Structure 1
Amino acid sequence: MLKVENLSVSYGAINALRGISFDVKEGEIISLIGSNGAGKTTTLHAISNIIKKQSGKVIFAGQDVTNVSADIIVKRNLIQVPEGRRIFLNMSVKENLEMGAYTRTDKANIKNDLAKVYELFPRMKERINQISGTLSGGELQMLAMGRALMANPKLLLLDEPSMGLAPIFVDEIFNIVKTINETGTTILLVEQNAYKALSISNRAYILETGAIIKSGDAKQLINDPAVKEAYLGG
């Protein structure tokens, strides 16, 4: 579904990504894990064409989207939930969710998809008319994910969904990510909580200073001594 080839990105003299290559197959959850500054968010932004690439190629659903603008990429159903959620805080929960569907032309299905989002996120239905800026951190993350699902993604890019959340919300968010995948959405997950990410993923890639240093089956990586030492607290 997604193939990234020799992707490089620089910020001035800083090489944020140094020729990385990886793939995501349909139906998978793939994790990118690594410490702060490893290049995880930059990778997602480069795929979505939010930032400029120095070199490399991005193939999505069999089409070269390397130089396709970000708004067209969204219309092709490659959807990103950004770090920090980026919710419209002065709008209601329902209005934020409806904004997720603004590129869609299949208006007849939007109402059904909204019902599915409320089923997946019951808290959002309870707070349907609540101003989003009054929600908790966990609820904001649920709203950001629900808004992305309203765009009917084929591939969902999730950037640090557990960041800043209380432990009870972390467990809930990862359970929801798994459910979203089980209902047919392919997921590329960027996450600092390496243990949680690996526990729900099929495969994973480990980024360090802009390069992929290790990859493989998530269950094998979670038991890899070097991975345990560096990312799982020993």
Structure 2
Amino acid sequence: MLLEVENLNVYYGAIHALQGVSFHVEEGEIVTLIGANGAGKSTTLRTISGLLRSRTGHIKFKGQDISMMPADQIVRLGISHVPEGRKIFAPLTVKENLLMGAYTRKDPNEIERSMQRVFASFPRLKERLNQLGGTLSGGEQQMLATGRGLMSRPTLLMMDEPSMGLSPILVEEIFNIIKDINSQGTSILLVEQNAQMALSISHRAYVLETGRIVLSGSAKEIAENPRVKEAYLGV
């Protein structure tokens, strides 16, 4: 098993944000966490990537317990986090943003190869290599944030709301790229408000409500669940 999350309990002060959350991601999968705003989806990703600490529970990656590891060490092990709101470095160029994603790596030839792989997925970034990140469109910034996440050569790419604020055409493009990244061997843990699109490309899914997982199953089962249809798919 690639990622195993067991009984996570996370607090913000007195607020019990994650309540006994358990799930897993197998190698080669796209797994989606869906839920309303405030359900705990982003908190889950931030805890896995070492930005938050759980009070109880364990996170195992490739069988190794990473629950108390610092965030930079977790990146070195092979987990990359593309945060909500993109969080690119606006004053830096596209190239400099991408190189920031490779800060844990040392071999310049390998870094260059990774950059070329990013350009194969995102040709627009190559065209804008020396442009400042802050001057890119929303869609291009999402591509840059994803490309930056890929520069650490992750085994598991965690993506938080990649379609947020994008036009329908760009949403489709981003999801096609996510499928393509996955087909090249990167497992993906996806947090996404656009449940319909997320479920259409995922293998499995979990539904989070107020810090608890209330449903799990194949993406098809979740998409056909009457409760999910009503709450998240607008059916």
TM-score (norm 1): 0.98
Task: Count residues in correspondence.
Answer: 234
Q: Render the CA deviation track for 1:43-100: whole Å, top value 9, x for unaligned.
A: 0011111012111000001101010111110111111000011111011111111111
Specify the SS of the correspondent of 1:7.
Answer: strand
Q: CA deviation at 1:233?
A: 0.2
Other-structure match for 2:208:
207
- Check conservation: 2:104, 2:152, Cα contact below 8 A: yes
Q: CA deviation at 1:106?
A: 3.2
In 2, Cα distance between equivalents of 1:90 and 1:72? 26
Other-structure match for 1:83:
84
Q: CA deviation at 1:108?
A: 2.2
In 1, Cα distance between equivalents of 2:183 and 2:210? 32
Other-structure match for 1:66:
67
Q: CA deviation at 1:102?
A: 1.1
Specify the SS of the correspondent of 1:176.
Answer: helix
Specify the SS of the correspondent of 2:214.
Answer: strand
Other-structure match for 1:56:
57
Q: Render the CA deviation track for 1:206-229: whole Å, top value 9, x for unaligned.
A: 000000000000012111111101
- 1:29-40 pair list within 5 angstroms: 29-40=30-41
Q: Render the CA deviation track for 1:91-139: whole Å, top value 9, x for unaligned.
A: 1111111111111123321111111111110110111111111000000
CA RMSD of aligned residues (A): 0.8
Letter aligned with residue 136 of structure 1: S
Specify the SS of the correspondent of 2:98.
Answer: helix
Other-structure match for 2:24:
23
Is the deviation greater in 164-173 or in 34-43?
164-173
Other-structure match for 1:166:
167
Are 1:105 and 2:106 an aligned pair? yes
Q: CA deviation at 1:13?
A: 1.8
Other-structure match for 2:223:
222
Specify the SS of the correspondent of 1:85.
Answer: coil
In 2, Cα distance between equivalents of 1:66 and 1:46? 8
Letter aligned with residue 227 of structure 1: V
> 4+ residue runs of structure 1 moved beyond 3 angstroms?
none
Specify the SS of the correspondent of 1:80.
Answer: strand
Are 1:132 and 2:133 an aligned pair? yes
Q: CA deviation at 1:192?
A: 0.7
Are 1:149 and 2:150 an aligned pair? yes
- Check conservation: 2:53, 2:67, Cα contact below 8 A: no
Runs (5+) with no aligned partner, structure 1: none
Letter aligned with residue 207 of structure 1: L
- Check conservation: 2:53, 2:68, Cα contact below 8 A: no
TM-score (norm 2): 0.98
Identity of matched residues, %: 61
Q: CA deviation at 1:165?
A: 0.9
Specify the SS of the correspondent of 1:16.
Answer: strand
Letter aligned with residue 60 of structure 1: F
In 1, Cα distance between equivalents of 2:108 and 2:74? 19
Other-structure match for 1:185:
186
Runs (5+) with no aligned partner, structure 2: none
Specify the SS of the correspondent of 1:41.
Answer: helix
Letter aligned with residue 131 of structure 2: Q
In 2, Cα distance between equivalents of 1:84 and 1:14? 23
